[in-house]
Structure 1
């Protein structure tokens, strides 16, 4: 008779599951701890499949697993998954940063900022090195003035009215009287001629455009003769050149031609008068008021000082200067015809021309104005030709024009005697520098003696310029770099200046450190 199977075998064969004490009936039984069979393992994800990651749970095995209490079921599998090994994860992924120190902070910032600073420094150096250099400039470092020794001269001034004597480009030698506005008569025609030549400039040998004589100019001649007004014969329809018209107003002082020029230039006499006053303001003639183009009206007023300002500007025009130094000219508008053979000679009212070096410029007289003369004379001094410009106004001693002329002559001769030449700068004397614009300078010296013209007590202003050619960045010692000048206008003298040492470009350090 065979052996009957034990109880456990029966249970297994019948499909029933025997529960071990302390386990849930629903859980499958695993091998006993210490059993010979392989341990089973269970995969526990580090994060739930449907939620945020959770740390894995280390499940106790073998004898380490505590037995659940008899009356308490074992924890569920999900509960074990929600308790991660925090100590292990903290060591692996969440280790706290070491405590901060000043040295560590400095090192970290250096690692961040050093490359950026280096890049910026490279850009700065490159830009500074490649920037265009400033243009070198000449600077006067020595004396800027030269003063002649001695007391100012006493000139033979008139006993009334006003008088002024200037040396063109050098300054005023002296003046006399109260410079209050007074009538100036035909001296006003200097502004008329100046404006016409400014608006319609001529070359020295050029006659210029023809001007058609209108009825008004003929009527002014016809009416002016019995009135003993200064006029030149003209007839309607005649053609008179611009140059002859200016000769007519500056030598025989033709009032009718002055008004004709005003209409030709500006369209009307009133518009031309506006231009006269505008020009006077531009020249700083603050005490001058023009009310007509000829000066016949006594409401046209000025001063000797203001008219000398105008004369200095007008005499800079070679055509004006050539006309006013003429003793006479041949008119083409007289009744005898318009050919040279029948022309009528018109004399200059300034009887000083061409005596005593006088080269102009204009007389003027009326009953109220008295006698007036605006004059210019040349004087050669030390190989230079100086221009004496002055005025004597408001002379009422008869004959008024002769009185003004006599005082003008005395002033011209006395002023010429006071002019002398002295050496203001010696050859080789350092007079300035070339400034490279970045802090560097190279000395420059006079290439010859500078002789200046003046009179006792006069001060001559010195200056330096590059003659409009610019200053190079590099040049050898001895290179001519410009001129040292004294005075202005016809009184200007100049000597070359040269480098006293090699001129070099600014250093790299100077280029790097420039701020402007």
Structure 2
């Protein structure tokens, strides 16, 4: 047999052409899929932008929704109750200027004789009728033989007195002669000068007390000599605060001594002045008891706290002063400064659905001085936002402590911008089209 016959073709003879053909077919299939996706998306966009255009109009014009704040207020702060060393006799009350109610008081509200504390009422009523302008001494008051007679009458009754000058004194000098040595005769002489008689002053004082709600205080004379001059501690504390509100009276009751023309040196009967922070106000003594209406100042941080208190019914002034010193010393540590907020403290956060976020921070620090276990709370009043820029105002934080309220502004840290057309069109339902004007 001839060996020149044609041999069968090899199965791999045309392999390169076959591979290329298969690759071309795959590319055509991939292109068809891509065209389908692209054309599908284009059809969607055309459908959105074409036709009625309701969806696209709603999506592009939908209002920005309000983002509600997520508040993070600090936890309330409260210290342990402050123990108070109360006098073991009579009645008492103690308060602080600017703080509601009393810090401590005795449970027994029975009125007791107020004695020469009554002269504070006399002074306030006279100054209400004859005010002394700042920096002045007030009108001149002429003292006559009638006033000398009053002096000797008080001596006969074993009342405290102050010498009478031959001539005149200013109203302020007359108040010094009445209040510092507790001169009963000056209380009567000033009542006669201001209201025509001592009874005239008593009538005016009763109306004055009623007008200020001091209904548990009774006044029977100008000096406090009568045991019918009675009051309760809470009324007397309010009276002391009224005295401190009068600049002339506040200055006089803080004097250790005064030089009065024709009278000489008069000394304050309040032996507590200059101790335990005491800077006023008035002693009062009967044959059976010693009283003191007092004020005291002390520092807490950069602030000054003013206490006003009274103790009635001590056996003598030494016991009284010791008890008041212990009372003040026990109250003072109960005042403390609470740093309620820090500057730049984050109190609220915001998030919009397209990913923009921002936080609300305090613009400044805030601290508050509180008494004892008074709780300190922070109320965050952050407002909802839509679009904001860094530094925009966004509400306030309010620090509450008793009757105190400190307001601190809040501002935005961050920027929230419009999400743009592409996000609006590609996030159906991301914004509420029902609120759009085009809907």
Would you call these one fold, judging by a TM-score over 0.5?
A: yes
Change (3 A) 1:493 1:373: farther
Larger-Rg structure: 1
In structure 1, C-alpha distance between the alignment counterparts of 2:364 and 2:206, rounded to whole Å:
45
Cα distance, 1:481 vs. partner? 11
Alignment of 1:256-271 (within 5 A): 256-271=185-200
Indicate which of 248, 267, 282 corresponds to 2:211.
282
* 1:382 corresponding residue in structure 2: 301
Cα distance, 1:253 vs. partner? 0.7
Moved more, 381-390 or 193-202: 193-202
Asked if the contact 2:260–2:266 (Cα under 8 Å) also holds between the matched residues in 1, the reply is: yes
Indicate which of 302, 305, 313 corresponds to 2:234.
305
SS of the residue 2:141 aligns to: strand
In structure 2, C-alpha distance between the alignment counterparts of 1:253 and 1:142, rounded to whole Å:
58
> Does residue 1:353 correspond to 2:279, yes or no?
no
Higher relative contact order structure (alpha carbons within 8 Å, sequence separation ≥ 6): 2
Cα distance, 1:480 vs. partner? 12
Asked if the contact 2:93–2:104 (Cα under 8 Å) also holds between the matched residues in 1, the reply is: yes
* 2:422 corresponding residue in structure 1: none
In structure 1, C-alpha distance between the alignment counterparts of 2:376 and 2:235, rounded to whole Å:
22
Indicate which of 189, 197, 209 corresponds to 2:119.
189
Cα distance, 1:424 vs. partner? 2.9
In structure 1, C-alpha distance between the alignment counterparts of 2:130 and 2:136, rounded to whole Å:
12
Indicate which of 324, 337, 342 corresponds to 1:421.
337
Q: What is the total number of aligned residue pairs between the two structures? A: 322
Asked if the contact 2:140–2:170 (Cα under 8 Å) also holds between the matched residues in 1, the reply is: yes
In structure 2, C-alpha distance between the alignment counterparts of 1:218 and 1:250, rounded to whole Å:
18
Cα distance, 1:188 vs. partner? 0.6
Indicate which of 386, 394, 410 corresponds to 2:313.
394
* 1:85 corresponding residue in structure 2: none
In structure 2, C-alpha distance between the alignment counterparts of 1:322 and 1:275, rounded to whole Å:
24
Query: TM-score w.r.t. structure 1 length?
Result: 0.56
1:136-174 CA deviation, whole Å, 9 max, x = no partner?
Answer: xxxxx999x976321x32222111110111111123221
* 2:284 corresponding residue in structure 1: 364
Indicate which of 458, 476, 488 corresponds to 2:374.
458
In structure 2, C-alpha distance between the alignment counterparts of 1:347 and 1:478, rounded to whole Å:
61
In structure 1, C-alpha distance between the alignment counterparts of 2:205 and 2:248, rounded to whole Å:
20
Change (3 A) 1:142 1:362: farther
* 1:320 corresponding residue in structure 2: 249
SS of the residue 1:225 aligns to: helix
Question: Alignment RMSD, CA only?
Answer: 3.5
Cα distance, 1:291 vs. partner? 0.9
> Does residue 1:219 correspond to 2:149, yes or no?
yes
Cα distance, 1:383 vs. partner? 0.9
* 1:167 corresponding residue in structure 2: 96
Cα distance, 1:302 vs. partner? 0.4
* 1:199 corresponding residue in structure 2: 129
Change (3 A) 1:234 1:451: same
Cα distance, 1:192 vs. partner? 1.3
SS of the residue 1:393 aligns to: strand
SS of the residue 1:287 aligns to: coil
1:361-385 CA deviation, whole Å, 9 max, x = no partner?
Answer: 00001125x1100110001001100
> Does residue 1:449 correspond to 2:365, yes or no?
yes
Alignment of 1:77-88 (within 5 A): none
Indicate which of 180, 201, 205 corresponds to 1:251.
180
In structure 2, C-alpha distance between the alignment counterparts of 1:279 and 1:461, rounded to whole Å:
39
SS of the residue 1:355 aligns to: coil
Change (3 A) 1:492 1:345: farther
> Does residue 1:273 correspond to 2:202, yes or no?
yes
In structure 2, C-alpha distance between the alignment counterparts of 1:388 and 1:304, rounded to whole Å:
14
Cα distance, 1:204 vs. partner? 4.2
Asked if the contact 2:300–2:336 (Cα under 8 Å) also holds between the matched residues in 1, the reply is: yes
In structure 2, C-alpha distance between the alignment counterparts of 1:405 and 1:493, rounded to whole Å:
36
SS of the residue 1:315 aligns to: helix
Unmatched segments (≥5 aa) in structure 2: 1-70, 348-358, 380-389, 414-439
In structure 1, C-alpha distance between the alignment counterparts of 2:337 and 2:307, rounded to whole Å:
15
Query: TM-score w.r.t. structure 2 length?
Result: 0.65
Asked if the contact 1:328–1:346 (Cα under 8 Å) also holds between the matched residues in 2, the reply is: yes
Cα distance, 1:328 vs. partner? 0.8
In structure 1, C-alpha distance between the alignment counterparts of 2:378 and 2:283, rounded to whole Å:
35
Cα distance, 1:352 vs. partner? 0.9
In structure 2, C-alpha distance between the alignment counterparts of 1:232 and 1:356, rounded to whole Å:
28
Asked if the contact 1:283–1:310 (Cα under 8 Å) also holds between the matched residues in 2, the reply is: no
